[in-house]
Structure 1
Amino acid sequence: MNSDRVKIGIPGLDDMLGGGLIKNSICSIIGTYGTGKTTFSLEFVWEGLKKKENIIYISLEEREGRILTYMEQKGWDVKPYLNKSLFVIKLDPTDFNLANNRIKNELPKLIEEVKATRVVIDPISLFEDLFTTDSERRQEMFRFIEGLRDKNCTIMLTSETHRDNVFSSRHGLIEYLSDTVILLRYVRPSDLSAVHLALEVVKMRMSLHSREIKPYELQQDQVLVYSEANVF
């Protein structure tokens, strides 16, 4: 039912998801560089702000000022929301103890304090990089994700693809922990005339969803997903 859905704010994509994400679920946006992972997460943030929701945006890559500039370049006036209903936090992934503690221990508390209903971690793959072994990474990520499921918020995680597999996240883990997985990638026609962007909803628990691959465009002020079109 649409009443139980949380819209990302990208009409064609929300249509592919059956009206949006399941409320209080975890969604991963996976793609290589230049496919718009941060742009998709910012659309998710702006949609929530328009609905008067409280939102936390954790950035492990871009500075707070850059994130706000990206939103302003889209024509969104975010200043009235900053530190009132929008909380942007920049973490340094090279400082293991600080980043690890703030994400694992402080984020759940902050979600409760500000009553956040949407949370973004961009990119989660830099947090995954903090762990030195696959077994430690699996254990810590499972505990972290399961802890967030009790916080009454819808979560969006972004991840780079694996360097040898464009269909997998960097560590091949987050897609198994997420309820919804959206894959962004390049499509190169056989004649090499142009490079196009395409997405697919690889997985969505508890919901029917489109399994078709659809083209999309990253425009200055919006993301256009052509849910009625076919990929070339």
Structure 2
Amino acid sequence: MNGDDEQRVQFGIEGLDSMLSGGIFEGSICSIVGTYGTGKTTFALQFIYEGLKQGEKAIFISLDERTEMIHRDILRRGWDLDTYLDKSLFVIKLDPTDFTVAVNQIKDELPQLIRSVGARRVVIDPISLFEGIFTDESTRRQELFRFIERMRDEDCTLILTSETLQNNPYASKYSLIEYMVDTVILLRYIRPSDLSEVHPAVEVVKMRGSNHSREIKPYEILKDRVQVYSEANVF
């Protein structure tokens, strides 16, 4: 099948969806990679909320923030949490420091949970904490590959956020996830030569089977939404 004939899933971020030629493919896996403060979680929540508005069920798994912090972030944006929480939206906090529990929950229990609630959109925020559970690089690569392949059997579209490498804002923390997913969205800061102001910018680095914008575009995190200015240029 021609990729352009496949069903698209929108983020609900107008400028970003246009950069993605209408959205990511339904059932695909996308990674949002960015350094601290770039809004990875906010982009992921916007993706979840767009699905909820369309009547879909969603799961948001946090390996970092407490569930009440996620709830607070949703409410702060003026989104209707009460309508969805524990009905069509399920927010789950996992503790990545408990090795055995975290690995089993993510690898074994998550697929079962997705099927039991009928979730069409799933977020893991951030996947880099799951990667960090494995201290051996070979094991990390193997376990991440197995997880990705297992998730491809589920009837959902998956977003994985990832921190960047400490000294490289263009690569994920372990430089693995971008090779295994279908779409990579990079969030970063651009600093003008005069250092007068920092501009957050988004780039679609990779999108298998689809045309996509290769331009770097500015964005802004507003109170109730993310706004990507797809017609503007970053200076």
* 2:227 aligned partner, one-letter code: L
Shift of 1:93: 1.1
The percent identity for this pair of structures is 65
User: Partners of 1:23 and 1:167 in 2: how far apart?
Assistant: 26
Aligned with 1:145: secondary structure? Answer: helix
Partner of 1:80: 83
Match of 1:60 among 54, 58, 63: 63
Q: Aligned pairs, how many?
A: 232
Corresponding position of 1:138: 141
CA distance in 1 between partners of 2:60 and 2:37 (Å) = 20
After superposing on structure 2, the runs of 4+ consecutive aligned residues of structure 1 that deviate more than 3 Å are none
- 1:5: which partner in 2? 8
Match of 1:224 in 2: 227
* TM-score normalised by length of structure 2: 0.97
CA–CA distance in 1 between the matches of 2:96 and 2:229? Answer: 36
Cα contact 1:57–1:120 (8 A) shared by 2: yes
CA contact (8 A) 1:2 1:19 kept: no
**CA apart distance, 1:222:** 1.1
Corresponding position: 1:122 with 2:125: yes
CA deviation string 1:123-142 (max 9, x = no partner): 00000000011100010000
How far apart in 2 are the matches of 1:106 and 1:84?
Answer: 19
Contact residue 2 and residue 20 of structure 1 kept, 8 A: no
Distance 1:18 1:182 in 2: 13
Supply the distance in 1 between the matched residues of 2:178 and 2:32 (Cα, whole angstroms): 9
Q: 1:149 aligns with which of 149, 152, 156?
A: 152
Aligned-pair CA distance for 1:164: 1.6
In 2, Cα distance between equivalents of 1:225 and 1:131: 35
The corresponding residue for 1:161 is 164
- Indicate the SS of the match to 2:119: coil
Distance in 1 separating the partners of 2:45 and 2:5: 21
Matching of residue 70 in structure 1 with residue 73 in structure 2: yes
Pick from 197, 213, 217: which aligns with 2:216? 213
Secondary structure at the aligned position of 1:206 is classed as coil
Deviations 1:9-28 (A, max 9, x none): 10000000000010100000
Structure 1 residue 198 corresponds to structure 2 residue 198: no
2:185 aligned with 1:176 = no
Deviation per CA, 1:46-82: give whole Å up to 9, x if none: 0010001010110000011110110111110111211
* TM score, norm. by length of structure 1: 0.98
Contact 2:6 2:26 in 1 (8 A): no
Q: CA deviation at 1:106?
A: 0.1
Conserved in 2, the CA contact under 8 Å of 1:54 and 1:117? yes
Q: 2:110 aligns with which of 103, 107, 111?
A: 107
Q: Which digits, 9 at most, give the CA deviation of each residue in 1:89-147, with x for residues without a partner?
A: 10111111111110000001111111110000000000000001110001000000000
Aligned-residue Cα RMSD (Å) equals 0.9
Deviation digits for residues 159-199 of structure 1 (CA, Å, limit 9, x no counterpart): 00000211000000000111000000000000111011011
**How many angstroms apart in 1 are the aligned matches of 2:221 and 2:86?**
28
